[in-house]
Amino acid sequence: MNAAVRAVVRTALTGGAEVVGIQRGWLGLSEADAKPMTSRDVAGILHTGGTVLRTFRYPDFTGAAGQEKVGRALKKLKLDGMVIIGGDGSFRGGAVLDQKFDLPVMGVPATIDNDIPGTDFSIGFDTALNIAVDAVDKIRDTASSHGRIFVIEVMGRSCGLLAMEAGLSTGAEEVIVPEIPFDLDAICQRIEGGYDRGKQHAVILVAEGAAKAPYIEYELKSRLKRSIRMVVLGHVQRGGSPSASDRMLATRFGVAATQMLLAGERGKMVGMVGSRVKTTALGSRSDAARKQVLAHQEMLRLLT
Ligand code: F6P
Protein backbone atom coordinates (compact mmCIF):
# COMPACT_ATOMS: atom_id res chain seq x y z
CA MET A 1 0.00 0.00 0.00
CA ASN A 2 2.84 2.38 0.76
CA ALA A 3 4.16 2.02 -2.79
CA ALA A 4 0.70 3.06 -4.01
CA VAL A 5 0.53 6.01 -1.59
CA ARG A 6 3.92 7.19 -2.81
CA ALA A 7 2.90 6.87 -6.47
CA VAL A 8 -0.38 8.73 -5.92
CA VAL A 9 1.21 11.58 -3.97
CA ARG A 10 4.08 12.15 -6.39
CA THR A 11 1.95 11.82 -9.54
CA ALA A 12 -0.60 14.29 -8.17
CA LEU A 13 2.09 16.77 -7.10
CA THR A 14 3.74 16.53 -10.51
CA GLY A 15 0.32 17.14 -12.07
CA GLY A 16 0.04 20.39 -10.09
CA ALA A 17 -2.42 19.23 -7.42
CA GLU A 18 -2.21 19.74 -3.68
CA VAL A 19 -2.40 16.42 -1.82
CA VAL A 20 -3.72 15.44 1.59
CA GLY A 21 -3.57 11.96 3.06
CA ILE A 22 -6.68 10.79 4.91
CA GLN A 23 -5.53 9.12 8.12
CA ARG A 24 -7.11 5.88 9.46
CA GLY A 25 -9.36 5.23 6.45
CA TRP A 26 -13.10 5.85 6.70
CA LEU A 27 -12.91 6.65 10.42
CA GLY A 28 -10.36 9.40 9.75
CA LEU A 29 -12.42 10.68 6.83
CA SER A 30 -15.50 10.95 9.04
CA GLU A 31 -13.42 13.12 11.39
CA ALA A 32 -11.86 15.15 8.52
CA ASP A 33 -8.47 13.86 9.64
CA ALA A 34 -6.36 14.85 6.62
CA LYS A 35 -2.66 15.64 6.54
CA PRO A 36 -0.92 17.64 3.78
CA MET A 37 1.47 15.36 1.89
CA THR A 38 4.70 16.46 0.26
CA SER A 39 7.08 14.43 -1.83
CA ARG A 40 9.32 14.07 1.26
CA ASP A 41 6.42 12.62 3.28
CA VAL A 42 6.42 9.56 1.02
CA ALA A 43 10.19 9.14 0.83
CA GLY A 44 11.63 5.87 2.10
CA ILE A 45 8.29 4.05 2.33
CA LEU A 46 8.22 2.07 -0.94
CA HIS A 47 9.71 -1.06 0.63
CA THR A 48 7.80 -0.97 3.93
CA GLY A 49 4.78 -3.03 5.00
CA GLY A 50 1.52 -1.67 6.42
CA THR A 51 0.43 1.84 5.45
CA VAL A 52 1.83 5.18 6.60
CA LEU A 53 -1.71 6.58 6.40
CA ARG A 54 -2.89 3.85 8.78
CA THR A 55 -6.32 2.27 8.33
CA PHE A 56 -9.42 1.24 10.25
CA ARG A 57 -12.37 -1.12 9.92
CA TYR A 58 -15.35 1.28 9.86
CA PRO A 59 -18.67 -0.54 9.37
CA ASP A 60 -20.54 2.65 10.41
CA PHE A 61 -20.17 4.04 6.90
CA THR A 62 -22.78 1.56 5.63
CA GLY A 63 -25.40 3.34 7.78
CA ALA A 64 -27.09 6.73 7.29
CA ALA A 65 -25.49 8.30 10.40
CA GLY A 66 -21.97 7.34 9.31
CA GLN A 67 -22.58 8.67 5.81
CA GLU A 68 -23.90 11.98 7.16
CA LYS A 69 -20.76 12.35 9.25
CA VAL A 70 -18.59 11.70 6.21
CA GLY A 71 -20.70 14.17 4.18
CA ARG A 72 -20.03 16.91 6.76
CA ALA A 73 -16.31 16.11 6.80
CA LEU A 74 -16.15 16.29 3.00
CA LYS A 75 -17.64 19.80 3.06
CA LYS A 76 -14.95 20.84 5.51
CA LEU A 77 -12.11 19.25 3.54
CA LYS A 78 -13.19 20.71 0.14
CA LEU A 79 -11.60 17.91 -1.86
CA ASP A 80 -11.72 17.86 -5.68
CA GLY A 81 -11.11 14.15 -5.98
CA MET A 82 -9.97 11.09 -4.09
CA VAL A 83 -7.95 7.97 -4.76
CA ILE A 84 -9.12 5.11 -2.54
CA ILE A 85 -6.75 2.22 -1.91
CA GLY A 86 -8.60 -0.80 -0.56
CA GLY A 87 -10.86 -3.80 -1.08
CA ASP A 88 -14.46 -4.26 -2.16
CA GLY A 89 -15.86 -2.68 1.03
CA SER A 90 -13.78 0.45 0.40
CA PHE A 91 -15.04 0.61 -3.17
CA ARG A 92 -18.67 0.29 -2.15
CA GLY A 93 -17.96 3.32 0.07
CA GLY A 94 -16.12 4.98 -2.82
CA ALA A 95 -19.17 4.57 -5.06
CA VAL A 96 -21.25 6.37 -2.40
CA LEU A 97 -18.75 9.25 -2.29
CA ASP A 98 -18.73 9.47 -6.07
CA GLN A 99 -22.49 9.23 -6.62
CA LYS A 100 -24.13 10.55 -3.46
CA PHE A 101 -21.60 13.23 -2.53
CA ASP A 102 -20.45 14.01 -6.09
CA LEU A 103 -16.78 13.57 -5.21
CA PRO A 104 -14.78 12.13 -8.13
CA VAL A 105 -13.22 8.87 -6.92
CA MET A 106 -10.74 6.45 -8.46
CA GLY A 107 -10.05 3.10 -6.80
CA VAL A 108 -6.81 1.13 -6.41
CA PRO A 109 -7.40 -2.55 -5.48
CA ALA A 110 -5.46 -3.71 -2.43
CA THR A 111 -6.20 -6.89 -0.50
CA ILE A 112 -4.34 -10.11 0.15
CA ASP A 113 -7.61 -11.93 -0.66
CA ASN A 114 -7.35 -11.10 -4.41
CA ASP A 115 -11.12 -11.21 -4.75
CA ILE A 116 -11.82 -7.83 -6.36
CA PRO A 117 -13.68 -7.94 -9.68
CA GLY A 118 -11.92 -6.15 -12.53
CA THR A 119 -8.32 -7.06 -11.77
CA ASP A 120 -6.24 -10.21 -12.05
CA PHE A 121 -4.22 -9.11 -9.02
CA SER A 122 -4.71 -6.81 -6.06
CA ILE A 123 -1.87 -5.21 -4.09
CA GLY A 124 -0.69 -7.49 -1.28
CA PHE A 125 -1.69 -10.82 -2.78
CA ASP A 126 1.74 -11.68 -4.15
CA THR A 127 3.50 -10.72 -0.91
CA ALA A 128 1.04 -12.71 1.23
CA LEU A 129 1.33 -15.67 -1.14
CA ASN A 130 5.12 -15.63 -0.86
CA ILE A 131 4.90 -15.46 2.94
CA ALA A 132 2.49 -18.42 3.00
CA VAL A 133 4.67 -20.42 0.59
CA ASP A 134 7.77 -19.75 2.68
CA ALA A 135 5.94 -20.83 5.86
CA VAL A 136 4.51 -24.00 4.29
CA ASP A 137 7.95 -24.95 2.88
CA LYS A 138 9.39 -24.64 6.38
CA ILE A 139 6.57 -26.60 8.00
CA ARG A 140 6.97 -29.32 5.38
CA ASP A 141 10.48 -30.00 6.71
CA THR A 142 8.98 -31.14 10.02
CA ALA A 143 6.11 -32.92 8.26
CA SER A 144 8.61 -34.83 6.19
CA SER A 145 11.12 -35.69 8.90
CA HIS A 146 8.41 -36.77 11.38
CA GLY A 147 6.15 -38.39 8.78
CA ARG A 148 3.33 -36.14 9.95
CA ILE A 149 0.18 -34.62 8.58
CA PHE A 150 0.02 -30.83 8.92
CA VAL A 151 -3.15 -28.77 8.64
CA ILE A 152 -2.24 -25.16 7.85
CA GLU A 153 -4.80 -22.34 7.90
CA VAL A 154 -4.35 -19.55 5.38
CA MET A 155 -6.15 -16.18 5.28
CA GLY A 156 -8.33 -14.95 2.42
CA ARG A 157 -11.67 -14.15 4.08
CA SER A 158 -14.38 -15.76 1.90
CA CYS A 159 -12.05 -16.37 -1.06
CA GLY A 160 -9.92 -19.50 -1.45
CA LEU A 161 -7.44 -18.10 -3.96
CA LEU A 162 -4.62 -17.38 -1.50
CA ALA A 163 -4.85 -20.87 0.02
CA MET A 164 -5.21 -22.53 -3.38
CA GLU A 165 -2.21 -20.80 -4.93
CA ALA A 166 -0.16 -21.41 -1.78
CA GLY A 167 -1.13 -25.08 -2.08
CA LEU A 168 -0.23 -25.34 -5.75
CA SER A 169 3.06 -23.56 -5.15
CA THR A 170 4.09 -25.89 -2.33
CA GLY A 171 2.74 -29.19 -3.66
CA ALA A 172 0.13 -29.51 -0.89
CA GLU A 173 -1.78 -32.79 -0.88
CA GLU A 174 -5.13 -31.10 -0.18
CA VAL A 175 -6.48 -27.56 -0.26
CA ILE A 176 -9.82 -26.89 1.42
CA VAL A 177 -11.50 -23.75 0.03
CA PRO A 178 -14.88 -22.08 0.59
CA GLU A 179 -15.79 -22.32 -3.09
CA ILE A 180 -15.84 -26.15 -3.07
CA PRO A 181 -17.71 -28.32 -0.52
CA PHE A 182 -15.29 -30.67 1.23
CA ASP A 183 -15.72 -34.24 2.38
CA LEU A 184 -13.42 -35.20 5.26
CA ASP A 185 -13.87 -38.94 4.70
CA ALA A 186 -12.80 -38.54 1.07
CA ILE A 187 -9.82 -36.40 2.14
CA CYS A 188 -8.75 -39.09 4.62
CA GLN A 189 -9.05 -41.77 1.97
CA ARG A 190 -6.86 -39.80 -0.41
CA ILE A 191 -4.30 -39.13 2.33
CA GLU A 192 -4.15 -42.84 3.25
CA GLY A 193 -3.89 -43.66 -0.46
CA GLY A 194 -0.87 -41.38 -0.61
CA TYR A 195 0.80 -43.23 2.28
CA ASP A 196 0.01 -46.54 0.52
CA ARG A 197 1.79 -45.21 -2.58
CA GLY A 198 4.87 -44.39 -0.51
CA LYS A 199 4.26 -40.81 0.58
CA GLN A 200 5.77 -40.09 3.97
CA HIS A 201 3.74 -37.06 5.03
CA ALA A 202 0.87 -34.79 3.97
CA VAL A 203 0.21 -31.07 3.95
CA ILE A 204 -3.37 -29.86 3.97
CA LEU A 205 -4.05 -26.16 3.47
CA VAL A 206 -7.35 -24.79 4.67
CA ALA A 207 -8.65 -21.39 3.65
CA GLU A 208 -10.03 -19.55 6.69
CA GLY A 209 -13.32 -19.01 4.85
CA ALA A 210 -13.86 -22.78 4.49
CA ALA A 211 -13.09 -24.02 8.01
CA LYS A 212 -10.84 -23.43 10.98
CA ALA A 213 -7.67 -25.50 11.21
CA PRO A 214 -8.34 -26.78 14.78
CA TYR A 215 -11.66 -28.22 13.58
CA ILE A 216 -10.04 -30.00 10.62
CA GLU A 217 -7.24 -31.28 12.86
CA TYR A 218 -9.77 -32.60 15.38
CA GLU A 219 -11.83 -34.34 12.68
CA LEU A 220 -8.76 -35.90 11.03
CA LYS A 221 -7.48 -37.13 14.39
CA SER A 222 -10.77 -38.92 14.95
CA ARG A 223 -10.46 -40.67 11.56
CA LEU A 224 -6.73 -41.33 11.09
CA LYS A 225 -4.22 -43.07 13.32
CA ARG A 226 -1.40 -40.71 12.46
CA SER A 227 0.54 -37.87 13.99
CA ILE A 228 -1.25 -34.66 13.06
CA ARG A 229 -0.41 -31.02 13.86
CA MET A 230 -2.01 -27.75 12.89
CA VAL A 231 -0.73 -24.20 12.33
CA VAL A 232 -2.68 -20.98 11.81
CA LEU A 233 -0.52 -18.61 9.74
CA GLY A 234 -2.67 -15.60 10.70
CA HIS A 235 -1.59 -11.98 10.44
CA VAL A 236 1.99 -12.83 9.60
CA GLN A 237 0.61 -12.99 6.03
CA ARG A 238 -0.37 -9.31 6.10
CA GLY A 239 3.00 -7.85 7.06
CA GLY A 240 6.59 -7.39 6.00
CA SER A 241 8.35 -5.86 3.07
CA PRO A 242 6.33 -6.15 -0.16
CA SER A 243 7.53 -8.33 -3.05
CA ALA A 244 8.96 -6.61 -6.14
CA SER A 245 5.88 -7.70 -8.05
CA ASP A 246 3.58 -5.96 -5.51
CA ARG A 247 5.73 -2.82 -5.56
CA MET A 248 5.43 -2.69 -9.35
CA LEU A 249 1.69 -3.33 -9.26
CA ALA A 250 1.12 -0.66 -6.63
CA THR A 251 3.26 1.84 -8.50
CA ARG A 252 1.46 1.23 -11.81
CA PHE A 253 -1.95 1.41 -10.14
CA GLY A 254 -1.12 4.56 -8.16
CA VAL A 255 0.23 6.42 -11.19
CA ALA A 256 -2.62 5.33 -13.49
CA ALA A 257 -5.45 6.07 -11.03
CA THR A 258 -4.06 9.53 -10.27
CA GLN A 259 -3.43 10.44 -13.89
CA MET A 260 -6.98 9.38 -14.73
CA LEU A 261 -8.44 11.37 -11.83
CA LEU A 262 -6.50 14.47 -12.91
CA ALA A 263 -7.77 13.92 -16.47
CA GLY A 264 -11.38 13.95 -15.23
CA GLU A 265 -12.17 10.23 -15.03
CA ARG A 266 -14.16 9.06 -12.01
CA GLY A 267 -16.24 6.26 -10.50
CA LYS A 268 -13.78 3.61 -11.67
CA MET A 269 -11.21 1.21 -10.32
CA VAL A 270 -7.91 0.52 -12.04
CA GLY A 271 -7.01 -3.13 -12.47
CA MET A 272 -4.45 -5.37 -14.12
CA VAL A 273 -6.04 -7.39 -16.89
CA GLY A 274 -3.47 -9.51 -18.72
CA SER A 275 -0.48 -7.21 -18.56
CA ARG A 276 -2.38 -3.95 -19.02
CA VAL A 277 -3.96 -1.48 -16.67
CA LYS A 278 -7.69 -1.32 -17.41
CA THR A 279 -10.64 0.23 -15.58
CA THR A 280 -13.99 -1.09 -14.36
CA ALA A 281 -16.87 0.67 -12.61
CA LEU A 282 -16.40 0.92 -8.83
CA GLY A 283 -18.26 -1.86 -7.05
CA SER A 284 -18.59 -4.15 -10.13
CA ARG A 285 -19.42 -7.78 -9.50
CA SER A 286 -17.97 -10.92 -11.10
CA ASP A 287 -17.21 -14.52 -10.17
CA ALA A 288 -13.76 -14.53 -11.77
CA ALA A 289 -11.96 -15.35 -8.49
CA ARG A 290 -14.31 -18.28 -7.89
CA LYS A 291 -13.74 -19.62 -11.42
CA GLN A 292 -10.01 -19.30 -10.93
CA VAL A 293 -10.20 -21.32 -7.71
CA LEU A 294 -12.21 -24.07 -9.45
CA ALA A 295 -9.71 -24.25 -12.34
CA HIS A 296 -6.83 -24.42 -9.86
CA GLN A 297 -8.56 -27.23 -7.97
CA GLU A 298 -8.70 -29.31 -11.16
CA MET A 299 -4.99 -28.74 -11.64
CA LEU A 300 -4.28 -29.72 -8.02
CA ARG A 301 -6.15 -33.02 -8.48
CA LEU A 302 -4.04 -33.77 -11.56
CA LEU A 303 -0.86 -33.29 -9.58
CA THR A 304 -1.48 -35.10 -6.27
O1 F6P B 1 -9.47 -9.03 3.87
C2 F6P B 1 -8.11 -9.08 4.15
C3 F6P B 1 -7.85 -9.89 5.38
O4 F6P B 1 -6.47 -10.00 5.60
C5 F6P B 1 -8.48 -11.29 5.37
O6 F6P B 1 -7.72 -12.21 4.63
C7 F6P B 1 -8.55 -11.57 6.84
O8 F6P B 1 -9.58 -12.46 7.16
C9 F6P B 1 -8.89 -10.22 7.42
O10 F6P B 1 -8.40 -9.26 6.51
C11 F6P B 1 -8.29 -9.99 8.76
O12 F6P B 1 -8.79 -8.80 9.22
P13 F6P B 1 -8.67 -8.33 10.73
O14 F6P B 1 -7.22 -8.08 10.95
O15 F6P B 1 -9.51 -7.10 10.79
O16 F6P B 1 -9.18 -9.45 11.54
E-only strand ranges, the chain: 20-22, 34-36, 82-86, 105-109, 149-154, 174-176, 202-207, 228-232, 268-273, 276-281
Nearest atom in ligand 1 to the alpha carbon of residue 128 is 4
Q: Is the pLDDT of residue 59 over 90?
A: no
What pLDDT, in 10s, does the model give residues 150-167? 999 999 999 999 999 999
Q: Is 113 a catalytic residue?
A: yes
Nearest atom in ligand 1 to the alpha carbon of residue 208 is 8
| 59 Cβ inside 6 Å of ligand 1 | no
Classify domain 127-238 at the CATH class level: alpha beta
Nearest atom in ligand 1 to the alpha carbon of residue 237 is 4
Q: Of the residues 33, 88, 113, 115, which is catalytic? A: 113
Q: Is the pLDDT of residue 60 over 90?
A: no
Give, using CA atoms, the residue closest to atom 6 of ligand 1: 156
pLDDT of residue 75: 96
What pLDDT, in 10s, does the model give residues 233-263? 999 999 999 999 999 999 999 999 999 999 9
Average pLDDT, the chain: 97
**What residues does 4 pair with on adjacent strands?**
none
pLDDT bracket for residue 135 (50, 70, 90): very high
pLDDT of residue 96: 94
Q: Is the pLDDT of residue 102 over 90?
A: yes
Those residues with Cβ within 8 angstroms of residue 229's Cβ, 6 or more apart along the chain or in another chain: 142, 148, 149, 150, 151, 217
Average pLDDT over residues 49-61: 92
Give, using CA atoms, the residue closest to atom 15 of ligand 1: 57
Distance 158 CA to ligand 1 centre (A): 10
Q: Is the pLDDT of residue 58 over 90?
A: no
Those residues with Cβ within 8 angstroms of residue 175's Cβ, 6 or more apart along the chain or in another chain: 160, 163, 164, 166, 167, 168, 204, 205, 206, 207, 297, 300
Nearest atom in ligand 1 to the alpha carbon of residue 162 is 6
pLDDT of residue 291: 97
| 212 Cβ inside 6 Å of ligand 1 | no
Q: Is the pLDDT of residue 222 over 90?
A: yes
2-124+242-294 and 127-238 have identical folds: yes
Q: Is the pLDDT of residue 190 over 90?
A: yes
Report the percentage of the chain scoring pLDDT > 70.
Answer: 100
- Domain spans of the chain, in order of start: 2-124+242-294, 127-238
Distance 113 CA to ligand 1 centre (A): 8
Tell me which fold the domain 2-124+242-294 belongs to.
Answer: Rossmann fold (3.40.50)
| 155 Cβ inside 6 Å of ligand 1 | yes
Give, using CA atoms, the residue closest to atom 10 of ligand 1: 157
Q: What is the pTM (predicted TM-score) of this model?
A: 0.97
Report the percentage of the chain scoring pLDDT > 90.
Answer: 96
pLDDT of residue 182: 98
What pLDDT, in 10s, does the model give residues 169-181? 999 999 999 999 9
